[in-house]
Amino acid sequence: MAKRLIPSLNRVLIEKILPPSKTNLGILLPEKTSKLNSGKVVAVGPGARDKKGNLTPVSFKEGDSVLLPEYGGTEVKLGEKEYYLFREDDILGTLHD
Amino acid sequence: MAKRLIPSLNRVLIEKILPPSKTNLGILLPEKTSKLNSGKVVAVGPGARDKKGNLTPVSFKEGDSVLLPEYGGTEVKLGEKEYYLFREDDILGTLHD
Amino acid sequence: MAKRLIPSLNRVLIEKILPPSKTNLGILLPEKTSKLNSGKVVAVGPGARDKKGNLTPVSFKEGDSVLLPEYGGTEVKLGEKEYYLFREDDILGTLHD
Amino acid sequence: MAKRLIPSLNRVLIEKILPPSKTNLGILLPEKTSKLNSGKVVAVGPGARDKKGNLTPVSFKEGDSVLLPEYGGTEVKLGEKEYYLFREDDILGTLHD
Amino acid sequence: MAKRLIPSLNRVLIEKILPPSKTNLGILLPEKTSKLNSGKVVAVGPGARDKKGNLTPVSFKEGDSVLLPEYGGTEVKLGEKEYYLFREDDILGTLHD
Amino acid sequence: MAKRLIPSLNRVLIEKILPPSKTNLGILLPEKTSKLNSGKVVAVGPGARDKKGNLTPVSFKEGDSVLLPEYGGTEVKLGEKEYYLFREDDILGTLHD
Amino acid sequence: MAKRLIPSLNRVLIEKILPPSKTNLGILLPEKTSKLNSGKVVAVGPGARDKKGNLTPVSFKEGDSVLLPEYGGTEVKLGEKEYYLFREDDILGTLHD
């Protein structure tokens, strides 16, 4: 069952990053914070087709830390792990330290 | 009645892969797992037409193992077997071991 | 009244094929089977226009056996016979023995 | 009041053909038959504009016998007679003996 | 207040023509007749922009007698007179004697 | 707070012209008249982008007297004064004496 | 957690500017005023793709003071600060003293 997925077109496979629980500091996260999620790019499709049928490469790459929208994305279970597929256009940006 | 179908445009004919029942291990599959399906590509159309009327070949090929969306696809009965027709754009990606 | 129709643009005139009743075997067709229909192409339009106004020929031809969607198509009575008009894009594929 | 209309763009002016009443044969027309109408093309617009602003001539011409959809078209009264305006795309095809 | 309006883009300024009341003949106009209106073109915009930003001249000109759709158009009061603004595409055609 | 706004893309900043109250003539304006508004163009954006990313200049310029639609536009307060932002396409035309 | 975000495509990261409270003058801001917001551009994406897949640079740059629409935008929390992501097209204009 533990298969590898190569996303189609401009789809991006993402592993969501769970926010650190912060229980060591005793601080509860407000509800609003949990709405925006970040994730790590696991696999990237070959890109969407333009009007002439050529592929436009996806601007994200494996390993990128990305900011995800509150809604959207398709849940995918590969092996025991849960991933999410997003269209390139729906990813809000890349996160850097 | 046992006919062969050549899909039109960018349609892809798919035979769904039933998940192994796992009864030998006595494990019940959680409901969520059954929502995402994989399938095997049986036949592929010549591709969608671009703005100039040229055909853009479908990026999947016969024998590909593909990940399918929860909804969508048209049920097709050919002979005694059931298949599904999907538009190329709706197939989420290809699965590899 | 027995007129001949030349479909416009990418319309395709189709005579539906009734499924053999199978009463000789005493088998009743399940309801689901009756939802997908096949038909024979009787006449084909000159094709849809692309963005430059040129005609893109229809990919089906007279005599083709085609798979039709459950819904859609326009019923047309020519002479005593009933036909259906479908847009090329809505025809699911061609059937071969 | 008896004016002549030159349709704009890809509009087609049509005089509907009333189906022969067939009372001489005592046959009542079933309701379904009356839903599809044929008409005669009376006047044709110069054509729709493509993306570059050029006119794409209408594929129907004065005198053509055409098959019309059940719904659509704009009723127009010119002088004492009633006509219908249809967009070229909505006309289903031409009828020939 | 008596200003002159130059319509923008492909808008056309129209003065509606009231149908002759026909009271001298004692004939009441049926309700249906009043739904279609004709008008006289008073001013014409420079045209809509195509995909490259060029203007496509409006196909109607000042003084043209035009057939108007039942619905649509924007009422405009200039000085004491009432006019209507229509998009070029919504005008059904030109009327000639 | 008294800032100057340069509109983005094909947006146009407009100061609405209040209709003269006409109380010196004792005439009350009918309700309908108040629905259409005129305004003066205060600032103009660089234009919308065409399909190739080039800017198409706005066809209105500072100081133009324009006819505005009944609905639409975004209210903007700059300093103590109220303005309206309209997309170029929504402005009905220019007014001239 | 204090990460830096590089917006994707034509997204613009904005830090909203809170209106001065004006309590020193004892004037309460009317409700309407609070609907339109200004902000400072913090980061800008590489631009949207045109039909050929090329990037069209965003017309705003870091440090720009911009006028924002009443609705829209995605709230983003980076470190302890709240930001907003807007599509370039939704930003109403730039503010200058």
Whole-number Å distance between alpha carbons of B96 and A6: 8
Q: Write out chain C's pLDDT in tens, 97 residues.
A: 447 999 999 999 999 987 655 545 555 544 444 445 899 999 999 999 888 888 999 999 999 999 999 888 999 988 889 999 999 999 999 999 8
Whole-number Å distance between alpha carbons of F64 and G43: 35
Whole-number Å distance between alpha carbons of G37 and F77: 10
Separation in Å, CA of D51 to nearest CA in chain C = 6
Mean pLDDT over B62-88 rounds to: 93
pLDDT tens digit sequence for G22-60: 545 555 544 444 445 899 999 999 999 888 888 999 999
Residue of chain B with shortest Cα separation from A8: B93
Task: Please report which confidence band the pLDDT of residue E21 belongs to, taking 50, 70 and 90 as the band edges.
Answer: low
A73 contact B CB<8A:
no
Mean predicted lDDT score pLDDT of chain E? 84
Which amino acid, residue C74?
Answer: T
pLDDT tens digit sequence for C26-35: 555 444 444 4
Q: Please give the residue that has the higher pLDDT: either A79 or B56.
A: B56
The pLDDT of residue D87 is 97
Residue with tokens 């983003």: G76
B29 contact A CB<8A:
no
Q: Is the pLDDT of residue G71 over 50?
A: yes
Q: Please give the residue that has the higher pLDDT: either G68 or C24.
A: G68
Q: Tell if the CB–CB gap between A51 and B56 is shorter than 8 Å.
A: no
Share of chain A above pLDDT 70, in %: 79
With an 8 Å CB cutoff and a minimum of 3 pairs, decide whether chains F and G touch. Answer: yes
For residue A23, which phi and psi values (nearest 5 degrees)? -70, -25
A70: DSSP letter: S
Q: Is the pLDDT of residue D1 over 80?
A: no
pLDDT tens digit sequence for E37-92: 899 999 999 999 888 888 999 999 999 999 999 888 999 988 889 999 999 999 99
The pLDDT of residue B29 is 46
Q: Tell if the CB–CB gap between D11 and E93 is shorter than 8 Å.
A: yes
CA distances (Å), G77 to each of A30, B58, G15, G37, in order?
12, 41, 11, 18
Separation in Å, CA of A58 to nearest CA in chain G = 10
With an 8 Å CB cutoff and a minimum of 3 pairs, decide whether chains D and E touch. Answer: yes
The pLDDT of residue B1 is 47
Q: Is the pLDDT of residue F1 over 90?
A: no
The total of other beta-carbon atoms located within 10 Å of residue B50's CB is 17
Query: Residue F94 in contact with residue F16, Cβ under 8 Å?
Result: no
Q: Tell if the CB–CB gap between F32 and E75 is shorter than 8 Å.
A: yes
Residue with tokens 């899909």: B7
Q: Please give the residue that has the higher pLDDT: either A35 or A92.
A: A92
E96 contact F CB<8A:
no
Task: Please report which confidence band the pLDDT of residue F33 belongs to, taking 50, 70 and 90 as the band edges.
Answer: very low
Separation in Å, CA of B12 to nearest CA in chain C = 10
Residue of chain A with shortest Cα separation from G75: A36
Task: Please report which confidence band the pLDDT of residue D21 belongs to, taking 50, 70 and 90 as the band edges.
Answer: low
Nearest to A95 by CA among E18, G7, G5: G5
Question: Which of G9, G31, G35, G94 has the highest number of chain F CBs within 10 A, making it the mutation to test binding with F?
Answer: G94
F91 contact E CB<8A:
yes
Separation in Å, CA of C14 to nearest CA in chain D = 13
Residue of chain B with shortest Cα separation from C22: B1
pLDDT tens digit sequence for D85-94: 999 999 999 9
The pLDDT of residue D50 is 85
Mean predicted lDDT score pLDDT of chain D? 84
Mean pLDDT over D36-49 rounds to: 92
Mean predicted lDDT score pLDDT of chain A? 84
Whole-number Å distance between alpha carbons of C32 and C44: 29
Q: Is the pLDDT of residue A7 over 90?
A: yes
Mean pLDDT over D21-36 rounds to: 49
Mean pLDDT over E15-31 rounds to: 60
Q: Is the pLDDT of residue E1 over 70?
A: no
Q: Please give the residue that has the higher pLDDT: either D12 or A19.
A: D12
Q: Is the pLDDT of residue A41 over 70?
A: yes
pLDDT tens digit sequence for D63-74: 999 999 988 899
Which amino acid, residue E87?
Answer: R
Task: Please report which confidence band the pLDDT of residue B33 belongs to, taking 50, 70 and 90 as the band edges.
Answer: very low
Q: Is the pLDDT of residue A59 over 90?
A: yes
E49 contact F CB<8A:
yes
The pLDDT of residue B35 is 46
The pLDDT of residue G59 is 95
Residue from the list G56, G92, G95 with its beta carbon closest to the beta carbon of F11: G92
Query: Residue A7 in contact with residue A85, Cβ under 8 Å?
Result: yes
Query: Which residues in chain C have Cβ-Cβ distances shorter than 8 Å to D56?
Result: 49, 53
Q: Which chains touch A (3 or more CB pairs under 8 A)?
A: B, G
Q: Tell if the CB–CB gap between C9 and D36 is shorter than 8 Å.
A: no
Which amino acid, residue F43?
Answer: A
Whole-number Å distance between alpha carbons of E48 and B76: 46
The pLDDT of residue G62 is 98
Query: Residue G62 in contact with residue G42, Cβ under 8 Å?
Result: yes
Separation in Å, CA of C74 to nearest CA in chain D = 8
Separation in Å, CA of G40 to nearest CA in chain A = 18
With an 8 Å CB cutoff and a minimum of 3 pairs, decide whether chains E and F touch. Answer: yes
Residue from the list F50, F65, F70 with its beta carbon closest to the beta carbon of E53: F50
Q: Tell if the CB–CB gap between B76 and C92 is shorter than 8 Å.
A: yes
Task: Please report which confidence band the pLDDT of residue B91 belongs to, taking 50, 70 and 90 as the band edges.
Answer: very high
Task: Please report which confidence band the pLDDT of residue F74 belongs to, taking 50, 70 and 90 as the band edges.
Answer: very high
Query: Residue E11 in contact with residue E47, Cβ under 8 Å?
Result: no
Mean predicted lDDT score pLDDT of chain B? 84
Whole-number Å distance between alpha carbons of F37 and F18: 8
